[in-house]
């Protein structure tokens, strides 16, 4: 039987990168994946365009990884976002920078990224076994000894990299397989929860689908605690759905909703939408007043066309019991103030999020206190490494999670190979 220096379990972004780094550094590598094809999550990432990383300063990058981002200082010192860009460009994939530093392949095809990674894995002589589910990892005293497959086959090795992902997007193969193997080695698994996930609400206007499908651009969305103190604000776009709210700003706020509901042991949490974040409520009121003075004879409805999206205004008139047909000059100032107040402080009570399976990212995982950040090596067992989303590290959407996956994957692969070769 062929003996491998390093066995990588999981063929997602971190596992592929770990295989490449280990093979590049001279190790004989076997990559195992229970699915029928590798890189499935990568192929659907970034809406099928694959946001390979984010070109930000390291400090900013870490600020966009709210789940234990500080841990990433060490892996980034080995392989950071600029290294990721050089890596892909070195393999012939041209990248382009979009808003907020997001990096995409010029052809907008995630499949190109996956194919290029797979070609590199093969070129480096990594053996690949798909449709191969792992049952467990066995340890001999304080070190790794073998991988046991579901079919009973045993693969002896001194070095294993676990890159099995979290529990989100399970159809790509992330079903939490790595957690029990880590627990068996003595690792702590911190509580799992959904992040980057749509938010649910039981408000009447949500249930009645009044605003379903309405997108709001460049808004600010905030989460408040039960005493009315602001927990977090994110700016960006959002959309109303048949169950609540979604879109980038909502996804980024979702983990704060989950944590607040748990922390304050409450059924609902207040959120607030600011449709005009660059203007004060007073400035907005003055704008409305100026419109009225300019065209006093117009019906309010016609006067305010284009001030905010039509569907939102119709909703506002209904919510504030305003006759939108009234002549603008007859509308009292306090009514205009109430419109500007609603545009700046549109509140809704939210009661949770969709499930972890519907989330883009898993919060929680293998405790990073038990991982050596410079190598991704386990502090519990010799020859055991972890990388990617199986760890208790998570970022916002926008290329941050994939950057963590590539960085921790490369760091684990390089360290594992060096350990084998030096021994």
| Whether residue 183 is found in the same domain as residue 240 | no
Q: Where a domain ends, among 323, 353, 383?
A: 353
The answer to whether residue 359 is domain-embedded is no
How far is residue 243's CA from residue 249's CA, in Å, rounded to a whole number? 16
Q: Where a domain ends, among 327, 353, 379?
A: 353
Q: Whole-angstrom distance between the N-terminal and C-terminal Cα of the chain?
A: 21
How many CA atoms lie within 13 Å of 248's alpha carbon, on the beta-carbon side?
16
Angle, helices 40-48 vs 13-24, to 10°: value is 120
Q: Are strands 230-240 and 215-224 parallel, antiparallel or unpaired?
A: antiparallel
**Domain count within the chain:** 2
* 164, 31 contact by CB (below 8 A): no
**Dihedral angle of Cα 25, 30, 31, 34, to the nearest 10 degrees:** -170
The answer to whether residue 296 is domain-embedded is yes
Name which of 282, 274, 343 is nearest 308 in CA terms. 343
| Whether residue 54 is found in the same domain as residue 120 | yes
| Whether residue 416 is found in the same domain as residue 278 | no
The answer to whether residue 220 is domain-embedded is yes
The answer to whether residue 387 is domain-embedded is yes
Digits of tens for pLDDT over the chain (423 positions)? 678 999 999 999 999 999 999 999 999 999 999 999 999 989 888 888 999 999 999 999 999 999 999 999 999 999 999 999 999 999 999 999 998 899 999 999 999 999 999 999 999 999 999 999 999 999 998 999 999 999 999 999 999 999 999 999 888 888 999 999 999 999 999 999 999 999 999 999 999 999 999 999 999 999 999 999 999 999 999 999 999 999 999 999 999 999 999 999 999 999 999 999 999 999 999 999 999 999 999 999 999 999 999 999 999 999 999 999 999 999 999 999 999 999 999 999 999 999 999 999 999 999 999 999 999 999 999 999 999 999 999 999 889 999 999 999 999 999 999 998 877
Q: Where a domain ends, among 353, 377, 393?
A: 353
Q: Please tell me the predicted confidence (pLDDT) of residue 224.
A: 98
What is the extent of the structural domain holding 183? 6-192+364-422
How far is residue 12's CA from residue 342's CA, in Å, rounded to a whole number? 45
| Whether residue 76 is found in the same domain as residue 123 | yes
* 342, 285 contact by CB (below 8 A): no
Q: Please tell me the predicted confidence (pLDDT) of residue 420.
A: 87
How far is residue 292's CA from residue 322's CA, in Å, rounded to a whole number? 15
The CATH number given to whatever domain includes residue 18 is 3.50.50.60
| Whether residue 166 is found in the same domain as residue 294 | no
pLDDT in tens, 234-244: 999 999 999 99
Q: Please tell me the predicted confidence (pLDDT) of residue 99.
A: 86
| Whether residue 157 is found in the same domain as residue 268 | no
What phi and psi, each to the nearest 5 degrees, are found at residue 106? Answer: -55, -35
How far is residue 247's CA from residue 242's CA, in Å, rounded to a whole number? 13
pLDDT in tens, 27-51: 999 999 999 999 998 988 888 899 9
Q: Please tell me the predicted confidence (pLDDT) of residue 100.
A: 85
Instruction: Give the predicted TM-score (pTM) of the model.
Output: 0.93
**Cβ neighbours around 374 below 10 Å, total:** 13
């Amino acid at each position: 039987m062929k003996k491998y220096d390093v066995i990588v379990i999981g063929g997602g972004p971190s596992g592929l990168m770990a295989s490449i780094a280990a093979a590049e550094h001279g190790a004989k590598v076997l990559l195992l994946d229970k699915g029928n094809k590798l890189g499935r999550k990568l192929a659907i990432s970034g809406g099928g365009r694959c946001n390979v990383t984010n070109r930000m300063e390291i400090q900013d990058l870490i600020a966009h990884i709210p789940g234990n981002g500080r841990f990433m200082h060490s892996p980034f010192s080995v392989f950071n976002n600029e290294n990721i860009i050089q890596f892909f460009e070195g393999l012939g994939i041209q990248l382009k920078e979009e808003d907020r530093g997001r990096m995409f392949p010029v052809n907008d095809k995630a499949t190109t990224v996956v194919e290029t990674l797979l070609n590199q894995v093969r070129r480096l002589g990594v053996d690949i076994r798909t449709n191969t589910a792992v049952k467990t990892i066995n340890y001999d005293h304080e070190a790794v000894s073998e991988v046991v497959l579901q079919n009973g086959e045993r693969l002896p090795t001194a070095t294993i990299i676990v890159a099995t992902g979290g529990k989100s997007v399970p159809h790509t193969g992330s079903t939490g397989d790595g957690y029990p193997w880590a627990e068996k080695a003595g690792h702590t698994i911190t509580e799992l929860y959904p992040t980057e996930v749509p938010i649910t609400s039981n408000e009447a206007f949500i249930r009645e689908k009044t605003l379903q499908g309405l997108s709001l651009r460049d808004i600010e969305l905030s989460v408040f605690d039960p005493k009315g103190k602001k927990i977090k604000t994110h700016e960006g776009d959002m959309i109303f759905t048949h169950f609540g709210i979604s879109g980038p700003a909502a996804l980024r706020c979702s983990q704060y909703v989950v944590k607040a509901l748990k922390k304050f042991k409450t059924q609902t949490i207040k959120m607030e939408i600011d449709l005009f974040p660059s203007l004060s409520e007073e400035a907005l009121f003055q704008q409305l007043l100026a419109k009225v003075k300019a065209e006093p004879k117009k019906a309010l409805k016609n006067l305010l066309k284009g001030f905010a999206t039509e569907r939102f205004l119709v909703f506002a008139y209904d919510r504030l019991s305003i006759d939108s047909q009234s002549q603008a000059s007859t509308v009292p100032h306090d009514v205009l103030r109430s419109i500007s107040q609603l545009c700046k402080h549109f509140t809704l009570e939210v009661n949770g999020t969709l499930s972890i399976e519907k989330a883009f990212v898993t919060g929680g995982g293998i405790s990073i206190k038990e991982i050596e950040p410079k190598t991704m090596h386990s502090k519990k067992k010799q020859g055991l490494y972890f990388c990617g989303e199986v760890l208790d590290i998570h970022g916002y959407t926008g290329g941050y999670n994939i950057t963590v996956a590539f960085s921790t994957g490369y760091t684990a692969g390089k360290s594992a190979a060096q350990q084998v070769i030096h021994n």
